[in-house]
Amino acid sequence: MTRIAHISDVHFGRIERKGVVEALVADVHAEKPDMVAISGDLTQRAYSWQYKAAARFVRSFEMPVLVVPGNHDVWPMWWPGRRVRTPVSRFETVITGELSPLVKLPEAWILGLNSAHGKTVKGGLVTAEQSERVRVAFKGAPDIRVLVVHHPLAPMPHASKSDVAVGGRGLLAAAAECRVQAVLGGHLHVVQNIRSEEGPMLVHAGTATSTRGRGQDKTANTYNIVILDGQSVVVERRDFDGLEYGMVRRETLAVSPNLMRPGIGIGV
């Protein structure tokens, strides 16, 4: 069994609730997950001070941390040259130079991919090269395989057309081919857990710390503990109540039979 703390859209620069970051870090440590996956939008406007705060946050965890950028982490509009040519260069300098990180745990391998780019207002993009990265990275992986990508890879409730990453369906097909059981994302600031047509579960966390919540999660600060055992994906939602984070919902999603190794589970 593998337990991942799935944190998204912390948005340093739009954090107003007193003590929320400290409470989040304390709760994650109390939960003792095997790793932390941060699915993008670390900053509000990619300013240096926001990135410095984000770097302190990322480095405050004692367990392995995987982090990918979001659209808010690309250079803002008033640096159009950098935004188009080297959109996440500040992320690479301050957070990590690895834009497709792979964390290998004993029972699970977790791969992160960058969907943020500068030739858009807020949309995402994933490429055929990244699908190939998925195929190569998961060769020889144990049964539990997880992707971390900021933007939704397929249409879903609360996602406008522009929220869905261009090329998302191709990446999802590659993920299904490689028996990826869950894709952890964010961007929408509304909690959603749905099964894609291709099979992998799409687990979208809300905003963990910022005041940018939307829809039914407008006032929520929330993150997930995602528990995978090869046959199910359990998502424990943990919300901030003004003092601390605590579990408010536990949802168990069965892994699609086409994503299980032959001989495991039902229907194979």
Least CB distance to Fe ion at residue 7 (A): 12
C-beta of 34 vs 41, nearer to Fe ion? 41
Which residue, 196 or 207, has its beta carbon nearer to Fe ion? 207
The residue nearest Fe ion at its CB is: 41
> Shortest Cβ distance from residue 122 to Fe ion (Å)?
6
Look at residues 1, 104, 15 and name the one whose alpha carbon lies nearest to residue 54: 15
CA dist., res. 109 & res. 193, Å (int): 20
Q: What tokens were used for 162?
A: 């522009």
Closer residue to Fe ion, CB minimum distance, 41 or 239: 41
Task: Enumerate binding residues for Fe ion (CB under 5 A).
Answer: 9, 41, 70-71, 187
User: What secondary structure does DSSP assign to 76-97, as a single string?
Assistant: PTTSHHHHHHSTTHHHHHHT-S
Instruction: Kindly state the smallest distance separating residue 186's Cβ from Fe ion, in Å.
Output: 6
Which is nearer to Fe ion, 138 or 240 (by Cβ)? 240
CB of residue 147 vs Fe ion: minimum separation in angstroms?
A: 17
User: Rg (Cα) of the chain, in Å, rounded?
Assistant: 17
Helix (H, G, I), strand (E, B) or coil at 239: strand
The three-state secondary structure class of 26 is: helix
Measured on CA atoms in the order 179, 229, 233, 68, is the torsion positive or negative?
Answer: negative
Contacts of 111 (CB under 8 A, 6+ apart): 100, 101, 102, 103, 133, 134, 137, 138, 145, 146, 147, 148
Sheet holding 232-240, edge to edge: 65-68, 35-39, 2-7, 222-228, 232-240, 245-254
Closer CB to Fe ion, residue 164 or residue 260?
164
Least CB distance to Fe ion at residue 163 (A): 8
Shortest Å distance, C-beta 152 to Fe ion: 10
Q: Please say which residue, 29 or 122, places its beta carbon nearer to Fe ion.
A: 122
- Nearest-angstrom CA–CA distance, 191 and 265: 28
